[in-house]
């Protein structure tokens, strides 16, 4: 049995959970998330805790047990607190701007990059070089951050690029030159 899967999930007072027709619906102050429950798993909802249990002990069910418990826990955390990823732009002329539904990135290309912001994600920009991505769905927030980062991943010679906050880039020495 999965060590992570058998841990109970605490539900804050501001979050409500409903299970209907094989679908888990989690509502909170920062949004609503839903996920279909695999038929190999059961969710026991009692008071302010939830428990994920298994129907059989096949290899696939054991693999799903811990995964699904973590996914449900991330749903509860997301609708009650939101997930946050911070990005930094390092490089001469690298900057970012936001409008209502788009992020405009200037990353040293001959043209600006316009990205549509997903509907449940909020993007805040500080000082044109710090980007804060907020949202209830951990997967969507992480995917959008990685999409921005993939335009200019950090390079090891000058340390320029789009970095996660507090990320350390191992620097390489350049050419040694003539001696």
**Do 9-81 and 83-164 fold alike per CATH?**
yes
Domain boundaries, the chain: 9-81, 83-164
Q: Which CATH number fits domain 83-164: 3.90.930.12, 3.30.300.30, 3.10.310.10, 3.30.70.920?
A: 3.90.930.12
Fold adopted by 9-81? Outer Surface Protein A; domain 3 (3.90.930)
User: Per-residue pLDDT averaged across 79-94, rounded?
Assistant: 93
Q: Is 101 exposed, middle or buried (0-12, 13-18, 19+ CB in 10 A)?
A: exposed
Residues 125-160 pLDDT 10s: 999 999 999 999 999 999 999 999 999 999 999 889
Residues 158-170 pLDDT 10s: 889 999 998 888 8
| Confidence check: pLDDT of 21 > 70 | yes
Q: Quick one: pLDDT band at residue 178, thresholds 50, 70, 90?
A: low
Residues 24-35 pLDDT 10s: 999 999 999 999
Label residues 5-43 b or e (16+ Cβ within 10 Å = b): beeebebeeebebeeeeeebebebebbebeeebbebbeb
pTM metric for this prediction? 0.88
pLDDT of the residue at 86: 96
Between CA 146 and CA 167 the distance in angstroms is 14
pLDDT of the residue at 110: 93
């Amino acid at each position: 049995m999965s060590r992570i899967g058998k841990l109970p999930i605490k539900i804050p007072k501001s979050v409500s959970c409903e299970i209907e027709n094989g679908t888990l619906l989690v509502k909170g102050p920062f949004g609503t998330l839903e996920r279909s429950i695999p038929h190999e798993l059961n969710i026991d909802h009692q008071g302010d805790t939830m428990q994920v249990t298994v129907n059989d002990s096949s290899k696939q069910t054991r693999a799903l047990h811990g995964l699904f418990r973590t996914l449900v826990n991330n749903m509860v955390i997301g609708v009650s607190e939101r997930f946050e990823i911070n990005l930094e732009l390092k490089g001469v002329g690298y900057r970012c701007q936001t409008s209502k539904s788009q992020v405009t990135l200037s990353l040293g290309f001959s043209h600006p990059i316009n990205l549509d912001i997903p509907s449940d994600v909020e993007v805040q920009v500080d000082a044109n070089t710090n980007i804060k991505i907020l949202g209830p769905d951990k997967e969507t927030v992480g995917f959008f951050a990685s999409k921005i980062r993939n335009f200019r991943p950090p390079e090891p010679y000058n340390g320029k690029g789009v970095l996660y906050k507090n990320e350390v880039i191992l620097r390489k020495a350049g050419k040694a030159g003539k001696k």
